[in-house]
C-alpha cells in the first residue's frame, strides 16, 4: 500500500511543475524565503515584528514546523512528505488558524491566509508542498561572506540590527589577499560575521572610501553603526583567533552603546 502511494505521488510529480516557480508566482508575495532563526526570534520575541514586518511565516519556519508537527518526525520521510502535502493542500483550500502548525505567539501577528480555492491546481499544490518540505537555507550564506554595496549596507544593518564591517583592500596588497584566503574563509569567522555584521569590501585602488572614512594601510577594517558612526578602526591582517576576538569586542562595544 505504502509503495502504491509513493508511485502515485511520483507520477504526479512527473507533470514537471517546478515547486519553486509555484512559490514565486503564488506564495512569495506573503511568505519570505529564508531568515536566520536568531533574527526571527529577535523580530518576534523582542520587537513585535517591527524589525522585519513579516506578513506570514517564512519558508524556513514553515518547513521546520511542518516537519516537526505533522506525522512522525522520526519516521519514514516519504510517508511524512505525503502527510505534509495533504496538510498543505487542505490548508490552501480551507485555511483556518485553528488547524495551524505555527507557534500561537507568532500567528498572532498574522491574518488568516486567504483561500486558494479555484486558484491553484492539485499539481501545483503538490509541487510547492514538496519544495517547502525539502527547503534548505541557502548554502552560500554559511560558506562564504556575502559582501554587499556600501549603500545597501546601511538599510540592511538597520533592518537586521547588525554592524557594518568595511574591508579596505587593494589587489596589490599581499596581506589582504592572504587574509582573504585564510581568516576570512574560516567557517567560525564566516559564521560570526554572517550573523552579526554586514560585510562591505572597498578596493581603494579603484574607488574612494565613502564619507571621508580614514585609513592608513591595507587591509584596514572599519566597523560602523547603521547611523554611520565609526565604532572601531582596525588596521592590519589578522589570524583567525585574533580576528575573532576583535569581532567579539566590536559586537560587545556596540551593545554597551545602546
Which residues contact ligand HEC (rule: CB under 6 A)?
A: 26-27, 29-31, 55-57, 62, 88, 91-92, 95, 97, 100-102, 107, 110-114, 116, 120, 128
Measured torsion, CA atoms of residues 188, 192, 197, 202, in degrees rounded to the nearest 10: -10
When the beta carbons of 51 and 62 are compared against ligand HEC, the nearer one is 62
Q: Scanning the structure block, which residue is given the C-alpha cell 492539485?
A: 122
Distance in Å, CB of 156 to ligand HEC, minimum = 24
Of 114 and 235, nearer to ligand HEC (C-beta) is: 114
The contacts of residue 173 (CB under 8 Å, 6+ apart) are: 218, 219
Query: Rounded to the nearest whole angstrom, what is the least distance from the CB of residue 131 to ligand HEC in the complex?
Result: 9
Q: Using the minimum distance from each CB to ligand HEC, give the nearer residue, 101 or 234.
A: 101
228-249: string of b/e by CB count within 10 Å (b at 16+)? eeebebbeebbebeebbebbee
Residue with cell 572601531: 232
Nearer to ligand HEC, 114 or 171 (CB): 114
In angstroms, the CA 201 to CA 164 distance is 11
Measured distance CA(234)–CA(199) in Å, rounded: 14
Q: For residue 2, give the nearest of 75, 64, 88 by alpha carbon.
A: 75
> Shortest gap between Cβ of 113 and ligand HEC (angstroms)?
3
Least distance (Å) between residue 86 CB and ligand HEC: 11
Nearer to ligand HEC, 98 or 229 (CB): 98
Least distance to ligand HEC from the beta carbon of 74, Å?
Answer: 21
Residues 6+ apart with CB under 8 A from 147: 199, 200, 201
Q: Minimum distance from CB of 125 to ligand HEC (Å)?
A: 7
Q: Which is nearer to ligand HEC, 133 or 223 (by Cβ)?
A: 133
Amino acid at each position: 500500500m505504502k509503495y502504491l502511494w509513493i508511485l502515485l505521488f511520483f507520477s504526479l510529480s512527473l507533470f514537471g511543475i517546478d515547486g519553486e516557480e509555484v512559490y514565486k508566482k503564488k506564495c512569495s508575495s506573503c511568505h519570505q524565503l529564508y531568515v536566520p532563526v536568531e533574527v526571527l526570534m529577535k523580530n518576534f520575541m523582542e520587537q513585535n515584528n517591527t524589525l522585519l514586518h513579516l506578513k506570514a511565516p517564512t519558508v524556513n519556519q514553515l518547513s521546520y514546523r511542518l516537519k516537526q508537527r505533522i506525522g512522525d518526525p522520526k519516521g519514514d520521510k516519504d510517508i511524512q512528505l505525503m502527510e505534509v502535502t495533504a496538510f498543505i493542500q487542505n490548508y490552501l483550500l480551507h485555511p483556518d488558524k485553528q488547524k495551524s502548525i505555527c507557534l500561537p505567539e507568532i500567528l498572532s501577528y498574522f491574518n488568516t491566509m486567504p483561500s486558494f480555492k479555484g486558484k491553484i491546481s492539485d499539481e501545483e499544490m503538490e509541487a510547492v508542498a514538496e519544495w517547502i518540505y525539502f527547503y534548505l537555507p541557502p548554502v552560500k550564506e554559511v560558506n562564504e561572506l556575502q559582501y554587499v554595496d556600501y549603500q545597501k549596507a546601511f538599510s540592511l544593518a538597520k533592518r537586521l540590527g547588525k554592524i557594518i564591517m568595511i574591508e579596505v583592500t587593494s589587489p596589490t596588497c599581499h596581506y589582504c589577499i592572504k587574509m582573504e584566503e585564510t581568516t576570512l574563509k574560516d567557517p567560525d569567522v564566516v559564521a560570526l560575521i554572517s550573523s552579526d555584521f554586514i560585510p562591505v569590501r572597498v578596493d581603494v585602488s579603484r574607488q574612494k572610501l565613502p564619507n571621508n572614512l580614514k585609513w592608513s594601510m591595507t587591509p584596514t577594517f572599519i566597523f560602523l553603526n547603521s547611523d554611520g558612526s565609526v565604532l572601531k578602526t582596525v588596521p592590519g591582517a589578522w589570524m583567525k583567533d585574533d580576528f575573532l576576538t576583535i569581532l567579539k569586542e566590536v559586537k560587545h562595544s556596540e551593545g554597551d552603546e545602546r
